[in-house]
Amino acid sequence: MRRAIFPGSFDPLTLGHSDIIKRGVTLFDELIIAIGINSEKKYMFSLAERKEFVEKEFENEPKIKVMTYKGLTVNFCKEVNADFILRGLRNPGDFEFEKAIAHTNRKLSEIETIFLLTASSTSYISSSIVRDVIQNGGDYSVLVPDSVKVK
């Protein structure tokens, strides 16, 4: 079985994330959306809200599971028996950052990182931009899936 994880904080889930997930799920038998927990990071949305956004968006996709984890991503991969990490690339800066992480993960384990380029229609979207739009009262609905609702 080809099992991959797509790790991230998903604070919140964006149309860019959704695009990578929808395209990535076709490459694997199972795709685990792995929501990382970093106690040093301040999130806009609670872990429960972030998990709910993802679960609602992909509730009809049987090949997708949503889980949370702490610690190193490669350790979580071992825990869930995943052989691949899926990552999305928006720009050259993402590539340089993700390349360093992929090399480190490969050094620490046998995990392979698979990169997908984001669709041009979503390549400008980041969770930090979405949070800024929300905090300033803008229309965030054009940047996120319908499952993301601010309370």
- Predicted confidence band at 140 (pLDDT cuts at 50, 70, 90)? very high
The active-site residue, picked from 9, 23, 41, 128, is 41
Query: Per this entry, what is the length of the chain?
Result: 151
- Predicted confidence band at 67 (pLDDT cuts at 50, 70, 90)? very high
Average pLDDT over residues 16-40: 95
**41 part of the active site:** yes
151: pLDDT strictly greater than 80? no
Residue of 12, 58, 71, 70 whose CA lies nearest to 31: 58
**106 part of the active site:** no
Instruction: Give the SS3 label for residue 85.
Output: strand
**What percent of the chain has a predicted confidence (pLDDT) above 70?**
100
Domains in the chain and their CATH numbers? 3-142 (3.40.50.620)
Residues 6+ apart with CB under 8 A from 91: 123
**17 part of the active site:** yes
pTM: 0.94
* Average pLDDT score over the chain: 95
Q: Which residue type does 151 have? A: K
Identify the pLDDT of residue 110: 87
Average pLDDT over residues 39-68: 95
**121 part of the active site:** no
Tokens of 52: 């709910």
Average pLDDT over residues 71-82: 96
For residues 40 and 102, the model is more confident at: 102
Cα dihedral 53, 22, 24, 9, rounded to 10, equals -20
Q: Are 126 and 45 in contact (CB under 8 A)?
A: no
Examine residue 62 and say whether the peptide bond preceding it is cis (omega within 30 degrees of 0): no
76: pLDDT strictly greater than 90? yes
